[in-house]
Structure 1
Amino acid sequence: MASIRSRNQKLFFDFYYQGIRCREQTSLNDTKLNRSRLEGVLRNIEAQIRLDRFVYSDIFPDSKRCEDFKKYDEQIKLVKESEPEPTEQLLLNIPTFSQFADEWLAENKVQWKVSHSKNVSMIFERYLIPAFGSYTMDQITRPQIIKYRASIIEPKRKTKQSKLSNDWINHVMTPLRGILNEAALRFDFPTPFINIKPLKIDKTAIEPFSLAEVQLFLSRVREDFRDYYTVRFFTAMRTAEIDGLKWQFVNLDRNEILIQETLVDGNVETPKTSASYRSIQLSQPVIEALKRQRKVTGNKDYVFCNANGNPLDHRNVTKRIWYPSLDEMRLKRRRPYQTRHTCATLWLAAGENPEWIAKQMGHSTTKMLFEVYSRYVPNATRQDGSAFDRLIENVNLDAIVESLDE
């Protein structure tokens, strides 16, 4: 790999040409500015080599290597005389957005989860490449980015596409920022993605079930899915976590479930965050549900699976079981993810320690509990100061005085 290196505090070029390693000394001191200058020259050399336009003697006329590459220099000079010079962009070897996207996605794929990689690839294919694909990476401007973001907020007139949410638009802009920042570093141009703040996202409204609604649902849902929904309602597990739950992670002797894997679009993946790796302490209804379930699927890998042992397709379960059950019971339609929100509010209402609840849910702090869930706890919504009044009234002054006199 070509590089600028230092010998005796003097910089030199180190690169390969025609399979031969070339080291060309300069008289420049090893400073940050000089390195930057020579790196620009080196990029130009690499670009000319790729385009078969590199004449060694033109760049290093006093080098001993000139004789080694004399025949190549003569051949290239003849070609250059008969063919036009490449454009400046081509000479600098700055790829188009479409070209660099392939490289950038391939480089990052190894560190992404399969589901995330598919999602980012879809964003490039559907949104970014149609808009920026033909531009070289350094041609994309900040105003162009801002105008593009504004253009995708509203759907095209002749389509039935609904308006994109701010959250989804931010998801589109995130990989755009990533690829532009990387290209700016790699090809030495200022990134155009400067001071473009994410769009404001309204807080998602949660609609937890009341305890009475939970009990009604569990009493009337199809019997073969009663244990599945009992676990969902009373463990606060995410959909991908319960989909990927295996018996090897269920310990009924210690009354706990270990979250070590998830299942997303049929792919086994790691949990969402580092805090998501956790041990969930089980309540009695969950313990009983898992004991019943073990009699059904205990000889298979997955706790909740079909007759072939394959994990449940949560989309199919939602369509066939969840929504029809809500409709039949005349309960308000809610996404299945509301089972997680329901569990959080029930724990809070029961007076469980917020730090314990946060750990159960896979949160690193209690911040979300107090921002999102606490308003569903009756005591937490009272704003008349009566709890503090009762605290003061219950102070036994005589007992305090007696303890001081002892």
Structure 2
Amino acid sequence: MKEILAEVITIGDEILYGQITDTNTQWISAELDKIGVKTVRKSSVGDQRARILEILQEAESRADIIIITGGLGPTKDDLTKHILAEYFNSGLTIHQQALEDVTAFFRNRGKELTEINRKQAELPDNCTFISNKRGTAPGMWFEKNGKVFVSMPGVPHEMKAMMSDPILGKLQQYFRTPVIYHKMIKTVAIGESVLATKIEQWEDNLPSHIKLAYLPTTGQVRLRLTATGENAEILQNQVQQQIEVLKTLVTEYIYGYDEDTLETIVGNLLVSQQKTIAIAESCSVGYVTYSIGQIPGCSRYLMGSIVAYHNQAKINQLGVKAETLSAYGAVSEETAREMAENVRSVFSTSVGVASTGIAGPDGGTTEKPVGTVWIAYADETQTVAKKLQLGTDRMLTIQLTALHVLNLIRQTLGIQQ
């Protein structure tokens, strides 16, 4: 089956100047993907005739579908309609239905139609009119040498309504599109290069119609498998077979799929095992609590937390022994263990976790450089502590500490299942 390719073009100086954020292209690409159309390029161009004509020619040379947003307003800087008429060698004529729509739009709001708005009903003679149910600028559909050009307003809520009905349906009727199926595998606590080395042979042996992409983010790597074919169920089964092989290679790093987050996985484990949790934080300054607490329904398992940044707070609020701090320091396995065990006792929970470290940029020593962190997990049967070395970026250390605490909870509770 032939691959159907699309290019999305946004028009407007305000996008290039950074005065507005372009959210249209992301949304359009996701919707095209759902109907089996692959977006190969996204482009932005200012309100300049020559540049717009140039990018239209380029897009036509490499895509089957060219989606255009922006430049359809009533003012003189809105050039898209006139340039499309030029591109398709067409004149502009008042379209009766477009005129009725724009007239009704203003009448329903108690306003009279002005001449400048009346001109919005002028359309290229060789386009197909697309009604705008939420605004005044109609959309336009052109066909040329088996390719489709679609022009829509740049206002997101107008564009989305028009794209959803009727454009996506018309594109599916015009093109015979394949099925595109994505599956996201989420991993944590393993770097992209190390992960790639571990799964290299598996990746090399993937079927030709299943592609792998690495999508790294802070402390995590998402693996996206994309399968293309004619039958969704067959593709899903084939992808699942590949995931089962992958799990034999890196199962300890895989924490979820698609929309899963570490926070939701941890919450689900606590709920399923009927456990509660309390948190003691130093260097992560509340970030672990924030991460767990952002999940709706977390009150079922999150009992409370203490941010004990200063040593005296560790002694007064958490009951960490002064002797422990004197002998081993705040950033130590011994202190992390006492923090986790004691916060569990303070809140009478099943689980206690803790973090203590040097987030920087100051405070490091030769023995304990900036980025040194100890985290700990404690329950009724065990206390587990882990040392981390997270670098010199303060905010990154805070975020990664929280991530590693969540993963320690996941790993320990997962073993208990």
TM-score by length of 2: 0.24
Larger % of strand: which? 2
TM-score by length of 1: 0.25
